[in-house]
Amino acid sequence: MYKTIRCGDVRAGDIGKEVTLAGWVDRWRDHGGVIFLDIRDRWGVVQVTANPELAAAAHETAARLRNEFVVQIRGIVRRRPAGMENPNLATGEVEVESREVEVLNAALTPPFNINEESPVDENVRLKYRYLDLRRERLQKNLVLRHKITKFMRDYLDPLGFIEVETPILFKTTPEGARDYLVPSRVHPGCFYALPQSPQQLKQLLMVAGVERYFQIARCFRDEDQRGDRQPEFTQLDLEMSFVHRDDVLDIIEGLFTELIPAVAPHKKIQQTPFPRLTWTDAMNRYGIDKPDLRFGMELCDASGVFAKSEFKVFQEALKSGGVIKCISVPGCAAYSRKDVDDLMAFAREQGGQGLATVAYTGEGVKGSVAKFVAAGEAAALKQLTGAADGDLILLVADTIMTANKVLGALRLLFRDRLNLADKNKISLVWILDFPMFHWNEEEKRWEAEHHAFTMPKEADLPKIDTDPGSMLSDAYDLVINGTELGSGSIRIHRADIQHKVFERIGLSEEEIRGRFGHLLEAFEYGAPPHGGMAPGIDRLAMVLADEPNIREVIAFPKNQQALDVMADAPSPADPRQLKELHIRLLDER
Ligand code: ASP
């Protein structure tokens, strides 16, 4: 071993002992004769002195050191002189008086400082990710991730779950994204698909009698990048046999109720048992299927208040079957014309046509529609929303879907603008009873809202041919502070129902057999009822680490253009390799 003690572990109890340290030079300064070094390893930083009077050779070597050099140091632990202690550092009472300093490796000047959290362009950080990862913030995030997955394994093992690895080279497993394909050399013209999740495989494990499965599973989805998306990401994939919906919910809820305080003690779960909302309630009350419940500002339906409104826009919206919905924004009644115009532009970006405002001010009712609002309506609106003087009501008259979408987005805008959500609170909420299908207008076909392996509510099954849009399913989401943490469902375990659902989403008999024949066949050999879920580990770590995106909690993420800028991937393939794979490029230049 190159070290007898970790840099971050040296304490007053070691005073007088000889120790050997190994690590990186975090800081270096020459105080006229004595050189002071901070030596860092994963466990922390310790101060080292190099005094020419005590060890001339060590001092000479220390004088040649620069930041990020890799060193090994033998020395004696001393108490720091009175007044020189650093109470902010775990090792701050002591220093190591060097006797021998050896350079294990030199280092170029890093493109950014490792020893401080200064802002650095993200692509530079990603290009030198191995240096970025040396910094305290990302070291902490790696440790947090490790603790999360370790906790999951330790929690699930005594409950009878076993971890089973499933293949990465597989067949299409649709979760609503595009597949990544891998060409086969041995089978010309054939491709593996990387699994968008181990969905079918874990269901097949249920057919195989595993009963309780989990996996810290990598998923691959080719879709547009966002802060909470990456081409490959990690889920706690879990599946159970002989369970009803609430059995799965209970296992997952028990896990997170214990995991969060264990790995992030500064975070407080707002409410246990986790609140449960139906999908319809979530949409109506928060305008979104992943509501952040750390604050109120619920959407109100003011259609009744304005049933006899003189305002044309309101009249027309109601006449065409739409609604008038609103939120009450605290303390913003004095918003200027420009402020309101900005909100209108935001509403339009969300697909709305406009925004009406009613402001309750000391000098009466103001706002963009004040002159159309009768005194009775203003009073009724105030009562409906619970608004106080000083509050601003934002109204949207549109279809229910658009009104929800616009107001749901405005609610989140004000969460951030007015700091309404406590960042140390964790709101976990179950969203239940999702629609089974939604209509894809572009492709003119029904699509599974969750995925095609989800069990429709039994009572709704007869509607599959006549009214699929009104069918509900046994799918559920767990939402954490307004981010979808994971989805799951009770699955279809009967071949006839599965076949019917495939048909409903527009697959031909040939496609069904070609893509999912193995699954349908397996269901004919005694498939047990089963269900499961897959909470996202990156997203959980992101929320618990207070990070703005999942790239910060992934060791080697892709950038927002899905590029690995460190290794330069994807990159053109060698023509010889392409030939072996039977691939000719369309635009061969
Ligand atoms: N495959 C997941 C499930 O367990 C869902 C997902 O990956 O989002 O239902």
Q: Note the pLDDT tens digit of each residue in 526-546.
A: 999 999 999 999 999 999 999
**Beta strands 425-426; 268-269: pairing state:** parallel
Q: Report which ligand 1 atom has the smallest distance to the Cα of 486.
A: 8
* Residues with Cβ within 8 Å of residue 399, at least 6 apart in sequence: 321, 322, 323
Q: DSSP secondary structure string, 570-588?
A: S-PPPHHHHHHTT---TT-
Q: By mean pLDDT, which of 294-303, 354-363, 476-485 is the weakest?
A: 354-363
Residue 454 Cα: closest atom of ligand 1: 9
- Which of 149, 191, 145 lies closest to 170 in space, CA to CA? 191
Q: What's the rounded mean pLDDT across residues 540-562? A: 96
Span from the CA of 460 to the centroid of ligand 1 (angstroms): 22
Tell me the pLDDT of the chain averaged across its residues.
96
Give per-residue pLDDT as tens, 568-581.
999 999 999 999 99
Question: Residue 406 has what DSSP assignment?
Answer: H
Dihedral (CA of 199, 205, 209, 210) sign: negative
- Whole-number Å distance, alpha carbon 542 to ligand 1 midpoint, is 19
Enumerate the β-bridge partners of residue 431.
277, 477
What pLDDT was estimated at residue 522? 98
The DSSP string of 331-355 is T-TT--HHHHHHHHHHHHHTT-S--
pLDDT in the model for residue 225: 78
How far is 240 from 196, CA to CA, in rounded Å?
20
The rounded distance, in Å, linking the Cα atoms of 119 and 125 is 10
197 lines ligand 1 (CB under 6 A): yes
Secondary structure element (H or E) that encloses residue 127, with its range: helix 122-127
What distance in Å separates the CA atoms of residue 137 and residue 132, rounded to the nearest whole number?
9
Q: What is the pLDDT of residues 471-500, one digit of tens each?
A: 999 999 999 999 999 999 999 999 999 999
Provide the pLDDT confidence category of residue 362 given band limits of 50, 70 and 90.
confident
Q: What is the pLDDT of residues 158-196, one digit of tens each?
A: 999 999 999 999 988 778 889 999 999 999 999 999 999
d(CA 370, CA 247) in angstroms, rounded, equals: 52
| pLDDT tens digits for range 60-102 | 999 999 999 999 999 999 999 999 999 999 999 999 999 999 9
Contacts for 417 with CB less than 8 Å, ≥ 6 apart: none
What pLDDT, on a 0 to 100 scale, did the predictor assign at position 589?
A: 53
In short, whether 432's Cβ falls inside 6 Å of ligand 1 is no
Number of C-beta neighbours around residue 548 at 10 A: 9
> Is 352 touching ligand 1 by the criterion CB < 6 Å?
no
Look at strands 392-398 and 425-426 and give their pairing.
unpaired
Return the residue whose CA atom lies nearest to atom 9 of ligand 1: 488
Work out whether strand 437-440 and strand 300-301 pair parallel, antiparallel, or are unpaired. unpaired
> Residue 279 and residue 292: Cα distance in Å, rounded?
14
pLDDT average, residue stretch 93-120: 96
**What is the model's pLDDT at position 588?**
60
d(CA 164, CA 160): 13
Q: How far apart are the first and last CA of the chain?
A: 54
Q: Say how many Å lie between the CA of residue 140 and the centre of ligand 1.
A: 28
Query: Residue 380 above 70 pLDDT?
Result: yes
**In contact, 527 and 496? CB cutoff 8 Å:** no
The answer, yes or no, to whether any atom of ligand 1 lies below 6 A from the CB of 533, is yes
Give, in order, the Cα–Cα distances in Å from 387 to each of 282, 301, 343, 369, 375. Answer: 21, 14, 19, 17, 15
The token pair that represents 204 in the structure block: 């097949």
Q: What is the DSSP letter of 82?
A: T
Cis peptide before 231 (omega within 30 of 0): no
Residue 582's pLDDT band, with cuts at 50, 70 and 90, is: very high
**How far apart are alpha carbons 132 and 114 in whole angstroms?**
7
What gap in Å lies between CA 58 and CA 99, rounded to an integer? 6
- Is pLDDT at 304 greater than 90 in this prediction? yes
Q: Which of 234, 214, 219 is nearest to 176 (CA)?
A: 219
Name the burial class of residue 121, with classes exposed (0-12), middle (13-18) and buried (19+) by CB atoms within 10 angstroms of its CB.
Answer: exposed
Instruction: Report the distance separating Cα 336 and Cα 327, nearest Å.
Output: 18
Can you tell me the distance from the alpha carbon of 584 to that of 320, in angstroms, rounded to the nearest whole number?
Answer: 55
11-66: per-residue pLDDT in tens? Answer: 999 999 999 999 999 999 998 889 999 999 999 999 999 999 999 999 999 999 99
Confidence of residue 350 (pLDDT cuts 50, 70, 90): very high
- In ligand 1, the atom with minimum distance to the C-alpha of 198 is 1
Residue 228: the pLDDT is: 82
pLDDT at 172: 83
The structure's pTM equals: 0.94
Per-residue confidence (pLDDT) for residue 227, from 0 to 100: 76
Domains by residue range for the chain, with CATH: 7-105 (2.40.50.140), 118-273+528-589 (3.30.930.10), 295-420 (3.30.1360.30)
